[in-house]
Structure 1
Amino acid sequence: MTGAASLPGGRHGSIILLLRLSDAIAAILLAADLVVVCVSVLLRFLFNAPVEWSDDVARGLMVGSAFFGAASALARGENVGVSFFRDMLSARLQAVVDATSALLVVLISFYVAFNALKLGALTAGQTTGSGLPLELTFYPMGVGALFMTVFALDHFRSRPLLNMIKGVVAIAAVTGIYLAWDYLLPSSMPSSGTLMFIGFFVTLFGGLPIGFALALAALIFIWVEGAFPGVIFAQQMARGIDNFVLLAIPFFILVGYLMEANGMSVRLIELLQRAVGRMRGGLNVVMVASMVLFSGISGSKMADVAAVGSVLIPAARRSKQNPGGAVALLAASAVMAETIPPCINLIILGFVANLSIGGLFIAGLLPSALMALVLIAVSIIFGRRPASAEETEPRVPVSGLWSGAIAAFGLIFMIFFGFKTGFATATEISAFAAAYAIFVGSLVFRELSLKSATHSFVQAATRAGLVLFIVAAAQSLAFTLTLQQVPHAVGDFMLALSKTSGVWLFMLLAIVVLIVMGSVLEGAAALIIFGPLLMPVAVQLGIDPLHFGVVLVIAMGVGLFAPPLGLGLYGACLIGNVPIEQTVKPIMGYLGLLMLCLLVIAFVPAISTALPRAFGY
C-alpha cells in the first residue's frame, strides 16, 4: 500500500518527470472533486442553494483523474493481469508474450487517446445539461491516455531489441493471417463476436492487464465490423465512468489511505489486539474483526487487506504462527467483507444493475455477519494462545488507542447516519468521510502532514484510476455485447433452464459463473459484464434483486481469492510476503466454509432481505 506512490528506479529522467506530473494532475483533480462535492452539499443543506453545475463538474473531474491515475499506475507496472498460464511457458516464449502484450498496451492506449481527443474536437460547442462545455470531459481523458501511451512505450522499449522485434512480428503475423483469411475465404471467416471472445481470452491468459484485455475485445469487434467509428469506443469508455455514483469509489479509497496515514488504522488494530489478542486464536480473531471494521470505513478491499495485513502478518510471524495460514485467513476475511458497506463492488453493481446502493449496503450486513461469525468461531476452535505476552502486546499506550477507535467509530456512524437520514447520497457521504479523515488526522491526532496527505491523494488517485479504467473498458465491452444481443440470449437461455429445472438451478449457475469469472477477471469487470445479464432474469424469476445482488458479490469475492487464478489472493500474498503455495491448503478450507455460508445465504433470502425491508428499501 505504501509503495503506490514511489518512483520507479532506472527510468529515464523525462519519464520520471512525466510520472510526477501525472501524479500531480490526478491528485489535484481528485482534491478539486472533493471540494466541489463537499461545498455543493453544504450549500444545498445549509442555504437551500443547490449548485446546478456541481454534478457535471464533479463527473468531468473524475474522468480526468481516473485516466491520469490509470496512467500513473501503468507507469509503475501496477496493472493486474492473469499470470498463471503465462508462467507455465518457457522463459524464451514468456519474453515474446510479454513484449507482445506491452506493444498491445501501447496500441490500445494510443487508440483511446486519439479518439478521445477527436471526440473532444467533435463536441466543441456542445454543452452539458448545466451549460458547461462538453469537450472538457473528453480532452482530459485524451491527455491522460496520451500519458498512458508514453508510459506504455517506455515499458516496451525497456525490453531487449530482439524481443521487441518478435512482439511486432507476432502482432503483424496475426493481423496478416486475419486479412488473408478474410480476403481469400470470407465465407469461412468466424463472426466478429467469436473473434472478440477469442482475442479476449487469448490475451487475458497471455498476461495482458485486465483493463486492456477488455478494451481490446471491444476494439476487435469494432474493427472487424467496420461500421462504427473509433470515437464510439472512446465515448463508451467515458460513459462507463461518467456517473456521479462512481465518485464514491475514489473517495472511499482515499478514506482508507488517509486512515493509514493519520494513524487511525494502527490505533484501531492495536486496541483490538489489546482486547482479544490474548484469548485462544486471538490474533486470528483480531484479523477478522479488523477487516469487519475497516470494511465499514474504506470501500477498497485491497486497501483493507494492505492496512490489516501490514500490521498483523508480522505479528503472526512474531508469535510463531504459520504466515501462510494468516494470509489465507486475511484473504478469507476480505471475501467476508465484500458485502460490508461501503464496498466498491456493491456500488458498481448498484450502478450497472440500477439498484439502490443504500439498499445493497443494508442487505449485505447480515450475510457478512454470518460469515464473520463462522470465521471467528473457526479461529477460536482451532487456534492457540500466543506463546508470550511480549510477542503480541501492542506498544502504543492504551490512552492513545481509544482516540483512534472513537474516531473510527465516528466515521462509521457518519456513513450509516447519512444513508439512514437521506442527508446525502453515497458519493456525498464518501466525500464527507474523506474530509472527516483529513480533519481528524491533521487537527486531532496531528499526524497527517501536508506531505502525507499529498501522498494519500496520489495513492488514492492511482488506485482509483486502476479500478475505474477497468470499469470504463468493461463498459465498452458491455456495449458490444449488447449490440450482439448477448444479454437477451443469455436471459432466454437461463429462463428456459429455470422453467424446466427450477429457480434453484439458476441460482447455482449464477454462483458458479461469478466464482469462475471472478477468479479470471478483476471483481469490477465480472460484475459489470454479468450483473446486467443475470439481474433481469432473476427479477423475472421472482428473486429479490437486493438478495440476488448480495449473492453475486459474495460469489465474485470467492472467485477473486480462490487459487490458482484469484488475483486477490496474489495481492494478499504480496502484502504478506508469502508464496502462494503456502496459502493454498488453508485458503481452500476457509473458502469451503464461506461457500457453505453462501449457499445458506442464497437459499434463505431473509438473511439478505430482512434488514432492507425493516429500513424501507
Structure 2
Amino acid sequence: MPPEALAGVVHPTLPANIIERYVGATAGVLGAALVVVEIGILGWGVFARYVLDNPATWTDEVATILFIWLSMIGAVIALQRGEHMRLTAAVDMLPQSWQPRFDAFAHVVSATFLAIVSWYAIQYTIAQADAITQALEIADSWRASALPVAFLAMLLIELGRLGRHRPTHLAGSAAIAAAILVLLFAFRGTWLAWGPMSLTVFFGPLVILFIFSGAPIAFCFASATIAYLYFGTGTPLTIVLIRMDVGMSNMLLLAVPMFIFLGLLIEVVGIAKTMVSFLVTLLGHVRGGLEYVLLGAMFLVSGISGSKVADMAAVAPVLLPEMKQLGNDPGRMVALLAASGVMAETIPPSLVLITVGAVAGVSIASLFAGGVLPAAVAALALVIFVSLQSRRSGAKSERASARDIWNAFLLAAPGLLLPLLIRFFVLEGITTATEVSTIGVFYSLVVGLCTWRKVAWRRLFPIMVETAALSGAVLLIIGAATAMAWALTQSGFSRGLVQVMSGTGSVVPFMALSILVFIVLGSVLEGLPVIVLFGPLVFPVARALQINDVHYAMVIILAMGLGVFAPPFGLAFYAACGIGRVDPSTVMKCIWPYLGVLLLALLVIATFPVITTALL
C-alpha cells in the first residue's frame, strides 16, 4: 500500500521525492542491463557447448556474480515500485483513519531492518575480500558487495517515505518499535535461558505483528531472524547475510528471472495473443466456451512463463473484455481466472517447481515431468464444473469458419510449439532449466520478427525492468526465508516438526496433515517462502514414509496454491482481482465453489500417486 494512497499521509517532501526517483531510475537501468547481459552470457554458454563444442567454463561464474547483483538491484526496484510481497488485507480491513498509522509502523520496521542489515552486509563484504573465485581469480567481495549497495539504496527509499507521514503517526510508530526493543533487551537473559522455546516469541507474535502491519514479508522474515539470533542465541548476525547470500546465489534459481522475462516477452511479441485467439476460434461458439478458452490458455501459457502472475497478466487482457461483452459475470470471470492460477501451479516450468528442486534436493527434470498430469486433473475438474454451470448461464460468441480456424492455427503454431520445445529440451537432458529459458527468449524474438516482422522494441526496456523487479521481490524473500529456515533448523525446531509429522504413523494422516498445513501456510505467507521455510523440513519425513518426492511435491504445491488464491489473506487472489479489475468483495462471493472443486481434485491426486509418477 503506497503511502500516498492513504488518508493522513502528508505530501512527499521534494528532496525525498527526488532521491527516490533517482535511486529508482538508476536501479531500473542497471536491472535492465543485467537482464540483457545474463541472457547473453547464458546464451553464449549454450552456443559454445553445443555449436562450438568448446564449453566456456567462465560463463557460470560470471552468471553467478551478476545473478546476485540482479537479485539485489531488482529488490531495490521492487521496493521503489511497491512490488514486494506483503500482506495488506489486515490493514485494509481497518478504519481508514487507522491505516496511515499502520503504514507508518511498517515503514519504521522496514527502515530499522535495512539500517541494521546494511551494517552487517558491509562487514560480510569486507570479509569476502579474502575469498578468491576459481575461474576469474578475483575477490568474492565484487559479488558480495551487491548486498550492502542494495540495502543502503533501499534504506534511502524508506527514509524518504518516512518523511511523508504525519509527525504524530511517526512518533507513535517509533514509540511502539522502541517499546518492543526495550522489552527484548530487558528480557534478553530470559530468551537465552529459554533456548529453542524463545522461537514462540520471535517467530510467533513478533513476525505476525510485522507481517500484518503490511511490511514486506522478506523484511519481516529477516527481522524476526535477526531478533531471534541476537536476543535468543547470541549468534553473530553476519550469519544472516551468509545464509541470505547462499539462498539467493543458487544457480538453479537463475531460471527465475529468465522465465519471468520469457513470460513477459511472449506477450510483447504477440505469441500469447495468437494462442488465445486460436482457442477462441475453436471453442468460442460453445456455451461457456470462453471459460474453456481461459482454462486452456492458462494451461498453455503456464508452460512458458513460469509465473502465475505473469500467466494471468498475459491471458486476462485478451479474454476478459470479450467475456464481459458477452454478458459473463465479472466476479465469476475473475474467480475462474484465480482458480486456473491454482491449476497452473504444477505446470512446468513453474517457479515453485524450480524452488522445490533447489531447496529440497528433488530433480527439476522429474518435477517438470510429474507436474503435467496433476495440472490436467485439476483442469478437468474445472472443465466439468464449468460445463455444469454453463448449461444455465454460459455465454457464447459466433462460430468461426474453417478458414478462420486454420488461419488462427497458422499464426498460433509457433507459440504452441514453444511449451513443447521447453519440455523436450529439459526432459531429454539437452539443456538445464535455466539454459532452456534463454533458448525460449531467442526463439520468441525470432518468431516475432519472422512471423509479424516487427517487435515492439520500445516495450522491451519496461519488461526488462519489470523482470528485474519481480525477480528481486521473489529472490529476496527466498534469501530471507533461507536465513529464517536455517535459524529454525539450528534451534531444533526442525526436529520437533519432524517428530510431530512423523507421529502421524502412516501415509494417509501425514498427507492429510500436509494438505491442511500447506493450505493454511499458503494463505498467510505465499508459496515460495513456504517452500523455502518448510520444504527442507517435511521432505525427509515424506521420504521416511516412502512417499515419492515428486508425488509429495505436487500435493503440497497444489495445497499451497489453494491457500495462495483463497481469500481473505491469499496474496494471489488480490493479484487476480487487480488484473481483472474487479472488486475483491465481488470475486470473494464467487470463488469458493471453484476452490472446492480444486480441493476435490487435490484429494484425488494425493490418493493416486500414479497421476504424478506415470510420466517419470
Do they superpose with TM above 0.5?
yes
User: Residue 87 of structure 1 aligns with which residue?
Assistant: 92
Q: Which of 531, 539, 543 is matched with 2:547 structurally?
A: 543
> What corresponds to 1:201 in structure 2?
208
Mean CA deviation greater in 370-379 or 126-135: 126-135
CA drift at 1:29: 1.1
**Are 1:146 and 2:173 matched, yes or no?**
no
Q: Distance in 2 between matches of 1:233 and 1:85?
A: 28
CA drift of 1:393 comes to: 8.3
Shift of residue 46, structure 1, vs aligned partner: 2.0
Whole-angstrom distance in 1 between the partners of 2:596 and 2:281: 30
Task: Structure 1: state its 5+ residue gaps.
Answer: 1-8, 613-617
Q: 1:386 deviation in Å? A: 6.8
Structure 1 residues 136-145 or 87-96, which shifts more?
87-96
Q: Does 1:276 align with 2:283?
A: yes
Report deviation, 1:537: 0.3
**1:6-40 Cα deviation digits (max 9, x unpaired):** xxx97723322221110111111121111111101
Q: Secondary structure at the match of 2:304?
A: coil
Q: Give the whole-Å Cα distance in 2 for the aligned partners of 1:93 and 1:581.
A: 21
* Correspondence for 1:474 among 481, 486, 499: 481
* Equivalent position of 1:4 in the other structure: none
Q: CA offset at residue 262 of structure 1?
A: 1.0
Q: Where does residue 23 of structure 1 map in the other structure?
A: 28
Query: 1:323-402 alignment to 2 at 5 Å?
Result: 323-383=330-390, 389=397, 401-402=408-409
Q: Work out the CA distance in 2 between the residues paired with 1:310 and 1:297.
A: 17
Query: Could you say what secondary structure the match of 1:527 adopts?
Result: helix
**Pairwise mapping of residues 234-313 of structure 1 onto structure 2 (< 5 A)?**
234-313=241-320
Could you say which residue in structure 2 is the equivalent of 1:553? 557
Q: Give distance in 2, aligned partners of 1:369 and 1:185.
A: 49
Across the aligned residues of Structure 1 and Structure 2, the Cα RMSD in angstroms comes to: 2.3
Task: Name the stretch that deviates more: 162-171 or 439-448.
Answer: 439-448
Bigger shift: residues 552-561 or 49-58: 49-58
Rounded to whole Å, the distance in 2 between the matches of 1:465 and 1:448 is 26
Q: Which residue of 1 aligns with 2:595?
A: 591
Q: What is the Cα deviation at residue 239 of structure 1? A: 0.6
**Counterpart pick for 1:42 among 41, 47, 65:** 47
**Aligned residue in 2 for 1:111:** 116
- Which range moves more in the overlay, 442-451 or 163-172? 442-451
The equivalent of 1:14 in structure 2 is: 19
Q: Which residue of 2 aligns with 1:6?
A: none
Pick which of 164-173 and 334-343 moved more: 164-173
**Residue 158 (1) aligns with residue 183 (2):** no
Q: Judging changes above 3 Å, is the alpha-carbon distance between structure 1 residues 41 and 189 closer, same or farther for their aligned structure 2 residues?
A: closer
Q: Once the two structures are superposed, what CA deviation does each residue of 1:285-335 show, in whole Å capped at 9, x if it has no partner? A: 010000000001110111101111222222222111111000000000010
Percent identity between the aligned chains?
34
**Contact 1:199–1:220 (Cα < 8 Å) also in 2:** no
Q: How many angstroms does 1:204 deviate by?
A: 1.4
**Deviation of the 1:190 alpha carbon:** 9.3
Comparing 220-229 and 208-217, the one that deviates more:
220-229
Give the Cα–Cα distance (whole angstroms) in 2 for the partners of residues 265 and 404 of structure 1: 11
Q: Is the 8 A contact 2:192 2:232 kept in 1?
A: no
Match of 1:600 in 2: 604
- Deviation, 1:191, is 4.5
Pair 1:102-2:107 in alignment:
yes
Aligned equivalents of 1:271, 1:222: Cα separation in 2: 56
> What is the CA-CA distance between 1:200 and the residue it aligns to?
1.1
The equivalent position to 1:522 in structure 2, one of 518, 522, 526, is 526
In the alignment, what sits opposite 1:581? 585
Task: State the shift of 1:95 in Å.
Answer: 2.4
1:147 partner letter: A
- CA distance in structure 1 between the partners assigned to 2:157 and 2:322 by the alignment: 38
Q: Which runs of 5 or more structure 2 residues have no equivalent in the other structure?
A: 1-10
Partner of 2:453, secondary structure, is coil
- Farther-moved stretch of structure 1 (287-296 vs 314-323): 314-323
How far off its partner does 1:59 sit? 1.6
How many Å apart are 1:495 and its aligned residue?
1.5
CA separation in 1, counterparts of 2:60 and 2:197?
41
Q: List per-residue Cα deviations over 1:464-494 (Å, max 9, x = no partner).
A: 1111111111001011011112112211222
User: Does the Cα contact within 8 Å between 2:523 and 2:563 map onto a contact in 1?
Assistant: yes
Distance 2:267 2:117 in 1: 34
Select the residue among 438, 441, 446 that pairs with 1:434. 441
Tell me if the contact between 2:192 and 2:231 (Cα under 8 Å) persists in the aligned partners. no
Number of the residue aligned with 2:426: 419
Q: Which amino acid in 2 is paired with 1:383?
A: S
Between the aligned partners of 2:190 and 2:229, the Cα distance in structure 1 is 21
Q: CA deviation at 1:83?
A: 2.2
Over 3 Å counting, the alpha-carbon distance change for 1:178 and 1:46 in structure 2 is same
Alpha-carbon shift at residue 188 of structure 1 (Å): 8.2
Question: Any conservation in 1 of the 2:339–2:565 contact (CA below 8 Å)?
Answer: yes
Task: Give TM-score scaled by structure 1 length.
Answer: 0.92
| Matched AA of 2:528 | A
CA–CA distance in structure 2, aligned partners of residues 446 and 557 of structure 1: 39
State the Cα distance separating 1:86 from its structure 2 match.
2.4
Q: Which residue of 1 aligns with 2:142?
A: 136
Equivalent position to 2:466, from 439, 459, 463: 459
Partner of 1:5: none
CA distance in 2, matches of 1:403, 1:231: 57
Separation in structure 2 between the aligned mates of residue 65 and residue 166 of structure 1, nearest angstrom? 36
1:126 maps to which of 131, 137, 143: 131
Please give the per-residue CA displacement for 1:74-102, whole angstroms capped at 9, x wherever unaligned: 11112232223223434444322211111
Is the partner of 1:54 in helix, strand or coil?
A: helix
Q: Are residues 388 and 44 of structure 1, via their aligned partners in 2, closer, same or farther at CA, if it must alter by over 3 Å?
A: closer
Could you say what secondary structure the match of 2:145 adopts?
helix
Contact 1:263 1:447 in 2 (8 A): no
- Matched with 2:82 is 77
Q: Is the 8 A contact 2:192 2:233 kept in 1?
A: no
Alignment CA distance shift 1:201-1:128 (3 Å): same
Shift of 1:563: 1.4
Q: 1:119 to 1:591 in 2, by over 3 A?
A: same
Aligned pairs (5 A) from 1:502-517: 502-517=506-521
C-alpha deviation, 1:187, in angstroms:
6.5
Task: Kindly state the Cα deviation for residue 244 of structure 1 after the two structures are TM-superposed.
Answer: 1.1
**What SS class does the counterpart of residue 107 from structure 2 fall into?**
helix
SS of equivalent residue, structure 2 residue 504: helix
Aligned to 1:615: none
Q: 1: distance between equivalents of 2:433 and 2:535?
A: 20
Q: Matches of 1:471 and 1:182 in 2, distance apart?
A: 29
Relative distance call for 1:128 and 1:187 in structure 2 (3 A) is closer
Distance of 1:376 and 1:464 partners within structure 2: 32
Compared CA separation, residues 182 and 126, structure 1 to 2 (3 A): closer
C-alpha distance in 2 between matches for 1:400 and 1:448:
21
The one of 222, 229, 246 aligned to 2:236: 229
Output the amino acid matched with 2:88.
S
Kept after mapping to 2: 8 A contact 1:442/1:449: no
Relative to structure 1, the CA distance from residue 185 to residue 540 in structure 2 (aligned partners, 3 Å threshold; closer, same or farther) is closer
Q: CA deviation at 1:205?
A: 2.1
